[in-house]
Structure 1
Amino acid sequence: MSNTTKMSSFEIRTSLFLASVYGLRMLGMFLILPIFAIYASQLSGSPSQLQIGLALGVYGLTQAIFQIPFGISSDIIGRKKVIYFGLTIFILGSLIAGVSTQIEGIIIGRAIQGAGAISAVLTALLADLTREEHRTKAMAIIGASIGFTFALSLVISPWLNEAIGVPGIFFMMAVLSLMAFLLVRFCIPEPTRESNKTSITLKDFYSILGRIDLGRLNLGIFVLHATQISMFMAVPFFLISQGDIPLQDHWKVYLPVLLGSFILIIPVIIFSERLKQVKKAFLMSILTLLTAQVSFIYFSNDLTGIIISLLIYFVGFNFLEASLPSLVSKIAPANKKGLALGV
């Protein structure tokens, strides 16, 4: 087997380190999802559902705003410098949210967290450090780390809520992000390609923004994450009201569902990679998400229906979560990956 048909030890090592950075940063974010809505509803001042939803969603809003300038900056001054800056902002936002006792302070902290928008830069850094023919494999490693941290968060989140509370989890986010900072500093090399530093003009921005193929993928990523946030605004309450399952036991539902979805997604991955049927796999995954949402509408009054709907949802979600950024990095211009992934 030639060297071009398998990942080099450098590519594997780099992918694992970057997957660890993703995992450390995302673990803190995922820990909040299953418990925040219930915690926030008990804050002083009786926050409205709109305020609670804003506290969860404002992270995504500010992240969307800052992904593009962060991506452009990484194309100009280098990936790692932008990652350091973004992680520092994220740590600051975590500390603000942790010390806040009212929903307004948490909203501010979450907004600052989102402003540390480094996801696109991390993906661009991975693209810089891996060959194109191995990029899907590298993204699969990161996708696996995201899936693992998501599953882990659903298991330990209720326990951590009992032990240190939501404020403590926000402080833990800051610590995890500091660990990610150190990993980037000492374990991940600076790209040597000249393509990772370039000038970006307004014309470049409009050319990326105007590409229909990239636009479709960007819309897909937006909708995918919107469904995730929306689901965790509702599912914890349904598990309590319809399933009579206390918050600290929700992991007993989430963990089997996630493990089952990972098992069921294997044929989808094989189908798309070996048979070169990426488009069909995408359509199948989108249809799977739609089926899950319809199932929630009609069967959310029954615990079995909720569990089946969750299983269907995560089969589609896990495939799209790993595949969409990889496709963006493949079709974007080599010296505009940070910009394209930021959009």
Structure 2
Amino acid sequence: MRPRARPLTPLERRSVAGLAGIFATRLLGLFLILPVFALYAEGLSGYTPFLAGLALGVYGLTQAFLQIPFGMLSDRLGRKPVIAVGLLLFAVGSAIAALADSIAGVIVGRALQGAGAISAAVVALVADLTREEVRTKAMAIIGITVGASFLGSLLLGPALDSVIGVPGIFWLTAGLAGVGLAVLFGTVPTPTAGPPAGSRRPVRAEFLLVLRDPALLRLDIGIFVLHAVLTATFVVLPMTLVRYAGLPGERHWSVYLPLMLASVVFLFPLIAAGERPRGFRPVFAGSVLALALAQGALYLGHSELPYLLAALFLFFTGFNVLEASLPSLISRTAPSTAKGAAIGIYSTFQFFGAFVGGAAAGWMHGRFGLASVYAGAGALLAVWFLVAVFTPPPARLTTRTLQVGRRAPAEARDLASRLAAIPGVAEATVIADEGVAYLKVDDTALDDAALERYSTPA
């Protein structure tokens, strides 16, 4: 019988709330300029439309290059120090962008904002501080917070621009990085049994282990497509609403807000359905299909407001489900001793997708027209849908830590083999110098008595 779903513990709630707050403040800082930067950029020296697009998207490029190093460093140095350094880099980049009077200066600032590549370390810390059986729920909470930050940026950006201007918004983002640091050290617990320190595979071997895993690679490609489509859509969507729906920029919130709230109503029921044994594939592939249909509706009916509203509802619904589900799938699929590396690669695909989506959308819009962006995004989603249809559901495993006593390396390898042979144990890693075994187990099939025979007092 499948174990009953468990609620978050008080410690897990505090951890998730704090880390969601760090995600939210940082992403709010990145996204606040999206609805207002295009007009501001026209007054900067050296402006061209391509450079303005590059200024918006370049943070994704630096994020993409640095997620893997930051994720792997978090496996060795700890999550919190890596997150703190990333927030400081983000604050410095925000200050440079605020002081810049040229488009080149803003590009440098935005690139440095992206250099604070903490997403992998934050998601890995969520995985460290939550049980596997509640991790999808934890990621969903963070996903909703991230979505709220994105929506908040669309609503607050124009209002803040009218009061403090775009340089003031950049200064505000620097302040938000400081808030993130306060939350990190004042609210978020430090894991008592985090990733085993400094003793595992060489960096190259660990990197290749997760990069060659077909299940992880499918998820990496999925997040690349999701964020490429998201960025590409919002390169042209504001212009679509102005040109064809007759809505000035300051009224776009009246479209985004009700549609985003309506889509969130369906988020938890869909996630719950996807957690059932036969529900994963219909929900996962169906969400990708919803995004593809939304792009098709935008392509065919972008000049008609009803089609626009229906398309955006489908888009927000599919996006929210996938944005909440994919990080959990990565953390559940990755080897227990290389979660930071796996999530680092995943985040690299995510942010490189944002960069490619923005750059490609700008080029396609200029070369072939606005509708071509929706057509290109729809084609990309159609390919992902074919992959999603054949994506198997993740194994329903939980994580256990077993005290086994300090051992010589050869004894630890032998013990890992014996633990892995116990019914219900899917993965066993023994850290010799810590006397700890990290296990992934199927609770429904686990031979607890056999496992406890290897346990020693802490």
- Say which is worse superposed, 267-276 or 71-80, in terms of deviation: 267-276
Write out aligned runs for 1:1-343 (5 A). 5-48=6-49, 50-198=50-198, 199=200, 200-274=202-276, 276-343=278-345
Q: Deviations over 1:220-259 (max 9, x none)?
A: 1111111111111111112222222222111111111211
The CA distance in 2 between the partners of 1:194 and 1:226, in whole Å, is 32
CA distances 1:2-59 after superposition (whole Å, capped 9, x unpaired): 99833211111111111111111111122222222343245344422x2222112211
Greater mean deviation of Cα atoms: 57-66 or 234-243: 234-243
SS of the residue aligned with 2:337? helix
Deviations 1:259-279 (A, max 9, x none): 121124344223212465122
Distance 1:194 1:31, change over 3 A: closer
CA contact (8 A) 1:71 1:338 kept: yes
Q: Is the 8 A contact 2:82 2:118 kept in 1?
A: yes
Cα 1:276–1:98 shift into 2, 3 Å:
farther
Q: Which has the larger radius of gyration?
A: 2
CA offset at residue 194 of structure 1?
A: 4.9
| Stretch of structure 1 that moved more, 265-274 or 225-234 | 265-274
- Superposition CA RMSD, Å: 1.9
Determine if contact 1:32/1:169 at 8 Å carries over to the other structure: yes
Offset of 1:299 from its aligned partner?
1.4
The 8 Å contact of residues 74 and 197 in structure 1, kept in 2 or not, is answered as: no
Q: Is the 8 Å Cα contact of residues 128 and 194 (structure 2) preserved in structure 1?
A: no
Separation in 1, partners of 2:225, 2:284 = 14
SS in 2 for 1:6: coil
Q: Which runs of 4+ in 1 moved over 3 A?
A: 41-46, 264-267
- Deviation larger for 29-38 or 89-98: 29-38
Unaligned runs of 5+ in 1: none
Secondary structure, counterpart of 1:32 in structure 2: coil
**8 Å contact from structure 2 (residues 46, 104) kept in 1:** no
Q: CA deviation at 1:111?
A: 0.8
> Which residue matches 2:417?
none
2:385 alignment counterpart: none
Identical counterparts, % of pairs: 45
Conservation of the 8 A alpha-carbon contact between 1:240 and 1:246: yes
CA distance in 1, matches of 2:248, 2:172: 24
Judge which range, 193-202 or 317-326, deviates more.
193-202
SS at match of 2:303: coil
Counterpart residue type for residue 244 of structure 1 = G
Deviations 1:118-174 (A, max 9, x none): 011001011111111111121122112112222222222211121112221111111
Higher RCO, Cα 8 Å, sep 6+: 1
Native 8 Å contact 1:158 1:249 kept in 2: no
Amino acid paired to 1:278: F
Match for 2:70: what amino acid?
Answer: F
Q: 1:78 to 1:3 in 2, by over 3 A?
A: farther
Gaps of 5+ in 2: 346-458
Given residue 325 of structure 1, which amino acid in structure 2 is its aligned partner?
P
Shift of 1:63: 0.4
User: 2:47·2:102 contact (CA, 8 Å) conserved in 1?
Assistant: no
Provide closer, same or farther for how the CA distance between residues 91 and 230 of structure 1 changes in structure 2, counting only shifts above 3 A.
same
Q: 1: CA distance between counterparts of 2:169 and 2:278?
A: 42
- Give the 3 Å change call, closer, same or farther, for CA 266–191 of structure 1 in structure 2: closer
Letter aligned with residue 76 of structure 2? I
- Contact between 2:271 and 2:325, CA under 8 Å: does it hold in 1? no
| Mapped contact 1:272–1:281 kept (Cα < 8 A) | yes
Distance (whole Å) between structure 2 residues aligned to residue 89 and residue 3 of structure 1:
43
Give the whole-Å Cα distance in 1 for the aligned partners of 2:196 and 2:184.
Answer: 16
Q: Distance in 1 between the 2:44 and 2:286 partners?
A: 41
Question: How many residues matched?
Answer: 341
**Higher strand proportion, which one?**
2
* Aligned partner of residue 246 in structure 2, secondary structure: coil
1:233 to 1:38, Cα distance in 2 relative to 1, 3 A: farther
CA spacing shift, 1:283–1:3, aligned 2, 3 Å: closer
